Amino acid sequence: MQPLPRLMKDRIQDDFLSYLRVERGLSANTINAYKLDLDKLRRYLTGIEKEILTAEREDLIHFVKHLHSTGLDSRSIARILVTVRNLFKFLLLDNRIKRDPSANIDVPKAWQSLPRFLIQEEIERLLETPDISTNLGLRDRAMLELLYATGLRVTELVSVKEADLNLNAGFLTTLGKGSKERLVPIGKSAIRWVSQYVAIRHTLLAPRGSAYLFLTAKGRPLSRQAFWKLITAYGEKANIGHITPHLLRHSFATHLLENGADLRSVQMMLGHSDIGTTQIYTHVTNERLKEVYLKYHPRA
């Protein structure tokens, strides 16, 4: 089969992304994530002189192995596989292929890795990194404290409004996945730092004002991308290495379970609809206990 012209390759991808946007109503962020995943698949297939329409099951299995060899974790590979499956389902429904080569391809269980988390000493170093003598530094300290205290997703964190906070009672209200509302407790340390930030927040407000809690220097709501860059920079500055907002969520859940919290409560605080998703953290704490035992028991 002759290679597809580049225009036709782009048309396949554009048609699929248009389908996701129009027929399935996916957000711009989700569609962009799909595009990045498809770019990985296209680059790989080009390297083995194949096209999307001529890809076979073995090609996709080797693609998964290639992703693993680049250092991607199992969650990222699983997400890319979802994109690939949805693409081939679309092509099958659109009669562009006769069979789905992605059917029944899974991430091997041996590759499934436990979530990374920060130890308490690393958390302390991270929280102490912002320069709290500046208003923006105080804002960043409040955000980091709140993120670690609540385990919020980054989108939930930047979406917090002043009206969502009840610092006297020690909780906030957030909308999670599926627009499900939940109450999340806030600890004393986070309450103290958020209160200090709230006291100076008016200095960041633009003339039009804003309902959102965390603002940029120009008074606009802080975006998830901007906070992602901030926390990454603070991780490097604290000599912890590359960190993400989700790493603090992992740390929040792991530290709660290590200190005796029950799984159901952690599930509610994280906003997981399925307790099976939360159970991954029990494996983390079990591995942690094993490490401590092997390190400190005289006969280990």
**Which distant-in-sequence residues (6+ apart) come within 8 Å of 121 by Cβ?**
none
Tokens of 115: 């979530």
* 191 and 245 belong to one structural domain: yes
Q: Decide if 245 is inside a domain.
A: yes
pLDDT of amino acid 269: 94
In the chain the first and final C-alpha atoms are separated, in Å, by: 61
Say which residue, 3 or 97, is predicted with more confidence. 97
Q: Which regions of the chain does DSSP assign to beta strands (E)?
A: 165-166, 171-175, 181-185
Q: Decide if 206 is inside a domain.
A: yes
Domain that holds residue 74: 6-111
Using an 8 Å Cβ cutoff, are 164 and 173 in contact?
A: yes
Residue 221 sits in a domain of what CATH number? 1.10.443.10
Q: Decide if 284 is inside a domain.
A: yes
Q: Decide if 278 is inside a domain.
A: yes
Say which residue, 147 or 281, is predicted with more confidence. 147
Q: Decide if 68 is inside a domain.
A: yes
* 106 and 125 belong to one structural domain: no
8 confidence band (pLDDT: 50, 70, 90): low
User: Looking at 43, 177, 202, 237, which residue is catalytic?
Assistant: 177
Q: How confident is the model over 126-133, as a mean pLDDT? A: 97
Q: Decide if 131 is inside a domain.
A: yes
pLDDT at 2 over 70: no
* 103 and 73 belong to one structural domain: yes
pLDDT of amino acid 112: 59
User: Looking at 139, 141, 249, 255, which residue is catalytic?
Assistant: 249
pLDDT at 299 over 60: yes
* 127 and 249 belong to one structural domain: yes
Using an 8 Å Cβ cutoff, are 243 and 233 in contact?
A: no
pLDDT of amino acid 111: 59
User: Looking at 141, 153, 201, 255, which residue is catalytic?
Assistant: 153
Model pTM?
Answer: 0.64
Q: Decide if 1 is inside a domain.
A: no
Interior/surface letters 91-106, b for 16+ CB within 10 angstroms, e for the rest: bbeeeebeebbbeeee
* DSSP H or E stretch at residue 246: helix 245-258
With a pLDDT cut of 90, the percent of the chain lying above it is 63
* 253 and 129 belong to one structural domain: yes
State the DSSP string of 56-116.
-HHHHHHHHHHHHHTT--HHHHHHHHHHHHHHHHHHHHTTS-SS-TTTT----GGG--PPP
* 151 and 287 belong to one structural domain: yes
* 153 and 248 belong to one structural domain: yes
Q: How confident is the model over 197-204, as a mean pLDDT? A: 96
* 97 and 133 belong to one structural domain: no
With a pLDDT cut of 70, the percent of the chain lying above it is 90
Tell me the residue type at 195.
S
pLDDT at 18 over 70: yes
Domain boundary among 59, 86, 111: 111
281 is catalytic: yes
**206/214 Cα distance (integer angstroms):** 12
pLDDT of amino acid 68: 84
Tens-place pLDDT, residues 218-263: 999 999 999 999 999 999 999 999 899 999 999 999 999 988 899 9
Centre a 10 Å sphere on the Cβ of residue 194 and count the other Cβ atoms it contains: 26
Domain boundary among 77, 111, 145: 111
Q: How confident is the model over 17-24, as a mean pLDDT? A: 89
Q: Decide if 162 is inside a domain.
A: yes
| Count: domains in the chain | 2
153 is catalytic: yes
Domain boundary among 111, 142, 175: 111
Tens-place pLDDT, residues 202-229: 999 988 889 999 999 999 999 999 999 9
- To the nearest whole number, what is the mean pLDDT of the chain? 88
85 is catalytic: no
pLDDT of amino acid 279: 82
pLDDT of amino acid 282: 80
* 107 and 223 belong to one structural domain: no
* 139 and 287 belong to one structural domain: yes
* 136 and 265 belong to one structural domain: yes
**294/277 Cα distance (integer angstroms):** 28
249 is catalytic: yes
User: Looking at 57, 79, 161, 246, which residue is catalytic?
Assistant: 246
Tens-place pLDDT, residues 31-90: 998 999 999 999 999 999 898 999 999 999 999 989 888 877 777 888 899 999 999 999
286 confidence band (pLDDT: 50, 70, 90): confident
Residue 23 sits in a domain of what CATH number? 1.10.150.130
Q: Which of 116, 113, 89 is nearest to 102 (CA)?
A: 89
* 170 and 98 belong to one structural domain: no
Q: How confident is the model over 270-276, as a mean pLDDT? A: 87
Using an 8 Å Cβ cutoff, are 238 and 122 in contact?
A: yes
Q: Which of 184-193, 197-206, 274-283, 287-296 has the lowest mean pLDDT?
A: 287-296
